[in-house]
Amino acid sequence: MSLSIWLLIIFILLFIISGIYMLYKSARKFNLTPEQLEKIKQHNKELEQEDK
Cβ-Cβ contacts under 8 Å for 13 (sequence gap 6 or more):
none
Rounded to the nearest angstrom, the gap between the alpha carbon of residue 45 and the centroid of all alpha carbons in its chain is 26
Give me the pLDDT at residue 16, please: 98
Report residue 32: phi and psi, to 5°: -95, 145
The domain of 12 spans 3-51
User: Is a pLDDT exceeding 90 seen at residue 21?
Assistant: yes
Distances (CA, A) of 20 to 3, 16, 23, 25, 46: 26, 6, 5, 9, 36
Spatial distance between the Cα atoms of 12 and 32, rounded to a whole number of angstroms: 38
Q: What pTM was computed for the model?
A: 0.50
Q: How many domains does the chain have?
A: 1
Which range, 6-10, 21-25, 30-34, has the best average confidence (pLDDT)? 6-10
Length of the chain: 52
